[in-house]
Amino acid sequence: MLLKAGTVLNDRYEILSTVGAGGMADVYRARDTVLKRLVAIKVLKEELSSDAGFVAKFRREAQAVGALNHPNIVGVFDVGEQNGMYYIVMELVEGINLKKYIDKMGAMEEREAVEVAMQVAKGLEAAHSQGIVHRDIKPQNIIISREGKIKVADFGIARMASTETSTTSSMGSVHYISPEQARGDACDARSDIYSLGITLYEMVTGQVPFDGESPVEIALKHVQQPIKPPGELAPSLSLNLEKIILKCTQKNPAYRYASMTDLLVDFKKLIVTPDEDFVVLPAEGANDPNLAMRKEDAEILKLAGISPRKTQWDEDEKNRAFDEGVGKAIEMQEEDRLAEEKAKRTEKILNYVMLGIGVLILVIIIAIISKACAWLNPSKPTTTAWIPPEVTTAPRETTVIPTTTPFTIPPTTEAPTTTPEPTEPVSTEPEGTVILRDLIGMDYAEAMDLLMEDGLRVHLEYELVPEDSEFEDNTVVDQSYDPGVSLLLDTEVTLWIATRDSGAVVIPTNIIGKSVEEAGAILREVGLVVSSGTEWEHSPSVPAGAVMAANPPVGSLATPGTPVTLIISSGPAMFKVPAILGYTKEQAIAALREAGFPADTNLQFRTETIPSSTYLPNTVALVEAYLGGNTKEAVAGESLDLRTILYITMTDPEPVLPALLGRDDIEEAQEELEQMGLSVKLKYEASKDFPPGQICWVTRKDGTTDIPEGTTLKKGTVVMLHISALVVPKGLVDMTVAEATALLEEAGIPYSFKDGKAPKDPEAVVVSKVTPKGGTALKADEEVVITFRKTTDPTEPTEEPTEEPTEEPTEEPTTEAPTTEPTTEEPTEPATEPTTEEQPTEPATEAPLPTMPTYAGRQISELFAELTGMGVPAEDIVIRYGTSITHPEKDAVYFVSSVDAVEGDHEIIPGTVLEPGNKIYIFVNEVKDE
């Protein structure tokens, strides 16, 4: 039953609205009336709340996860109970889950996907270091906040869902389930790595690698079917990222990354050295270790509701449904989805059940004969256990690979090999480790002796059991690690001990978070008293003044009248933010350390910088504090929790001139300088030291003051790039075409003839015009266009009697002699005729000014050549790149303006006279490489 808005839990949490409902819990948006903040509250379903064993595990798991504090993990603030209703108070993250993001946006770009995966990996790395394995990583459990922060949600919750509850919690996970989970084997951190690999696969391709008509079919594909390389679906995917995904999703956990730390190392290499081949994949065939059971066996067992791994008691089996693979939950989902075939399937399932019972009887007979109840497959070697890196203790419910292999039936032609009893430590374990015994049902004193004998520490917790419980008083009900796991020596193991002692009372757990007065009242209700002395300790999660612990501890047994010492929270440890705005990076770190802030672990410098007129370049411009899912500006002098993550943003650095000489990517160099805040001009000129098309000199705007590489400049400085170019020889006019072309070929200058018509006899015609004129530096891909005439009687018509006079003003308005074209035909003695090279300035005052030609949709190189050929100086032409819908071709011109903006009032329309000295801004469509 859903809670109504306005409901208040434990006089503190006010329900505001429903966020969503799942198979195991309902989630609400709520207000914490004590700390005045918004929170999310997950309330267990009523059918689960009535299960005492499930509730005990639920609370212990939530408390363990609550100890985690990481910016990439949804925080757990509190665990509570009211009238038999159990709930968890969590950080409220406003945003969208990754699944919805992918469904909406499609496949993600590689850089974006890697950034998301890295943040997920960092959160999981922190959890794994505490021995906590998520086991349900999927896009639905990855939240993208409104600020772009990635959060991993639902730690340790889905793993406890029972096969007897609603099946929706398992349904979403089967696409991301690891092979060992699908087989029912125990799993460890490498299962999270597999699921993250599948999630990353979906991020870059837009689809999951395995799909099918039923959850059983999908789970079996994870076990048996090779994964399709993601590069086949996303051809632009880099080889290294593809190999990272394939390594994460190896069928055999031994061939995956050993830890999230190792995975993060390769992610960082991918960013820093993307071209280096650094991902090591196992040899071909290693990904098929023959660990999968036959499809028929899996279907029989799962449809019969039988887990491939047998457990010690029904309650434990029920609380480990997710461990047991897709199990009966999947079968129930199949019933819901295929209801019309219910009768037919029911008959089939009954057959499977009978077959399953027969299989179990056969197994028991074989086990009795061979005295090897734990190992039924002698042909498979023992699997090496995984231990969380650099962890000597681990919270309850940590999962590691057991030393037993998955349930299989050995061939009838081979006798099973006997193995040591399950309770005996395996001597082949690495030095410094021990295999944990199965202690459930054993007398607690005997269990303690065995653990201490094996070199492990013991912690006892009492658990009240009903009168009809199968567990006798003082026997072990549960243990904090699964039997058969490998543990480091001196690891603490918690044992839960059964008791029915009506005379003993359990110290209530709900005193945590209460005031001293409230806790005292609760203790007195159960017959206990509050000790006169109290203790105070810092707590990052319990508010100051509230009870954070007790001695004897909560959950333990005590006789009536026992005094209980309350341990009161003094709140989190704090530090005062120092005034560091305007400090250099080194000065800021030193000041924060002096203030007691853990700068080595909780300080991050943002990669982006911001402009500032207040502070010097490369100094602190902004300090932000992150805690509990919220980011705010940190003000000097305020006190902050020591768990706070500080983000520092620096001011923009002053631009430093990069190495430019010899570069031929002129547009890229210009864009790079402009992004640094510099203004760029181009000048083409002859150079003896650099081939055409390369930058041969860098100067200030005067064109003569050299700027050496590495010079620090102020933003707005004008930088002139001198481009080496071929120069059109002077004196070509009135040469024979044969002489002129020989000279051009010797200089390596490309040429063509006007209208594409070459003379039949180059010796019989002379050059009447060249474009561009002599002395002009050619742009990239530009050529000389030759116009010629015959050398016969000047009254004889030329090859182009009508075209030259009309084209002369627009093609070469400032370089031709003042006479019209027909007059160039009259002289018969070329030696006496003045050439355009000899008289470059005479016609300048009389020739008409150039006008803007048509430009829409033309290539920038073509328009640039025409404008400069008309006499427009190259330094007066400014090229800007943008995006055009009407002209989507790469490098297509879509607007020409008299100002540096696409504004209709300032458009230079075709036919407009181009006044000397006025800038011409040409806007070109930019098409980025995919």
- Residue range 565-617, pLDDT digits in tens: 999 988 878 889 999 999 999 999 999 999 989 888 789 898 888 877 788 88
- Cα separation, 524 vs 179, in Å, equals 52
Most confident stretch, 240-249, 276-285, 532-541: 240-249
Percent share of the chain, pLDDT over 90: 26
Position 337 pLDDT exceeds 60: no
Query: What is the DSSP annotation of 224-283?
Result: HSPPPPGGGT-TTS-HHHHHHHHHHT-SSGGGS-SSHHHHHHHHHHHHH-TTS----PPP
* 3-class state of residue 620 by DSSP: strand
Position 394 pLDDT exceeds 80: no
Model confidence pLDDT, tens digit, residues 659-681: 999 999 999 999 989 888 889 99
Query: What is the DSSP annotation of 796-824?
Result: SPPS-TTHHHHHHHHHSTTTS-SS-GGGG
Q: How confident is the model at residue 409 (pLDDT cuts 50, 70, 90)?
A: very low
Model confidence pLDDT, tens digit, residues 410-420: 333 333 333 33
Outline where 578-654 has alpha helix (H). 585-594, 599-602
**pLDDT at position 354:** 55
- Cα separation, 5 vs 347, in Å, equals 46
Residue 171 φ/ψ, nearest 5 degrees: -60, -45
- Rg of the chain over CA atoms, in angstroms? 40
* 3-class state of residue 650 by DSSP: strand
**pLDDT at position 616:** 82
Asked if 8-91 and 577-650 have one fold, the answer is no
Q: Mean pLDDT across the stretch 624-649?
A: 86
- Cα separation, 423 vs 417, in Å, equals 17
- Asked if 604 contacts 648 with a C-beta cutoff of 8 angstroms, the reply is yes
- Cα separation, 597 vs 331, in Å, equals 53
Q: Mean pLDDT across the stretch 290-304?
A: 39
Residue 768 φ/ψ, nearest 5 degrees: -100, -20
Point out the least confidently predicted range of 67-81, 203-217, 323-337, 395-409: 395-409
Point out the least confidently predicted range of 62-76, 520-534, 795-809: 795-809
- Cα separation, 180 vs 563, in Å, equals 49
For the domain spanning 666-724, the CATH number is: 3.30.10.20
Position 74 pLDDT exceeds 80: yes
Q: Mean pLDDT across the stretch 51-72?
A: 74
**pLDDT at position 502:** 63
Q: Give the closest residue to 717 by CA, choosing from 667, 655, 672.
A: 655
Paired tokens of 103: 């469904």
Outline where 690-736 has alpha helix (H). none
- Asked if 705 contacts 730 with a C-beta cutoff of 8 angstroms, the reply is no
Whether omega for the bond prior to residue 560 falls within 30 degrees of 0, making it cis, is no
Q: Mean pLDDT across the stretch 205-220?
A: 89
**8-91: CATH topology:** Phosphorylase Kinase; domain 1 (3.30.200)
Whether omega for the bond prior to residue 552 falls within 30 degrees of 0, making it cis, is yes
For the domain spanning 507-569, the CATH number is: 3.30.10.20
Q: How confident is the model at residue 248 (pLDDT cuts 50, 70, 90)?
A: very high
Distance between start and end Cα atoms, the chain: 51
Report the Cα 806 to chain-centroid distance in Å: 63
Domain boundaries along the sequence of the chain:
8-91, 98-337, 507-569, 577-650, 666-724, 737-845, 860-925
- Cα separation, 171 vs 329, in Å, equals 8
Model confidence pLDDT, tens digit, residues 416-439: 333 334 333 334 445 567 899 999
Q: Give the closest residue to 182 by CA, choosing from 301, 286, 284.
A: 301
Q: How confident is the model at residue 519 (pLDDT cuts 50, 70, 90)?
A: very high
Angle at 713 between CA 709 and CA 716, to 5 degrees: 125
Q: Give the closest residue to 86 by CA, choosing from 104, 62, 64.
A: 62
* Homologous superfamily in CATH for domain 98-337: Transferase(Phosphotransferase) domain 1 (1.10.510.10)
- Cα separation, 878 vs 923, in Å, equals 9
Q: Mean pLDDT across the stretch 307-330?
A: 38
**pLDDT at position 165:** 32
Position 14 pLDDT exceeds 90: yes
Q: Mean pLDDT across the stretch 479-490?
A: 84
Q: Mean pLDDT across the stretch 751-761?
A: 89
**pLDDT at position 57:** 66
Q: What does pTM read for this prediction?
A: 0.38
Higher pLDDT, 357 or 208: 208
**pLDDT at position 649:** 93
Position 793 pLDDT exceeds 50: no
Higher pLDDT, 55 or 751: 751
Q: Give the closest residue to 729 by CA, choosing from 714, 711, 702, 749.
A: 749
Catalytic residue among 51, 136, 154, 482: 136
Position 515 pLDDT exceeds 70: yes
Most confident stretch, 140-149, 328-337, 575-584: 575-584
**pLDDT at position 737:** 92
Position 524 pLDDT exceeds 50: yes
Q: Mean pLDDT across the stretch 456-470?
A: 82
Yes or no: domain 577-650 corresponds to CATH 2.30.29? no
Query: What is the DSSP annotation of 350-416?
Result: HHHHHHHHHHHHHHHHHHHHHT-SS---TTSPPPPPP--TT-S---TT-----SSPPP-PPPTTSPP
876 assigned to active site = no
Percent share of the chain, pLDDT over 70: 73
Position 824 pLDDT exceeds 60: no
Q: How many CB atoms lie within 10 A of CB 687?
A: 19
Give all strands (DSSP E) within 297-347, no chain letters.
none
Model confidence pLDDT, tens digit, residues 838-847: 444 444 445 6
Q: Mean pLDDT across the stretch 96-124?
A: 92
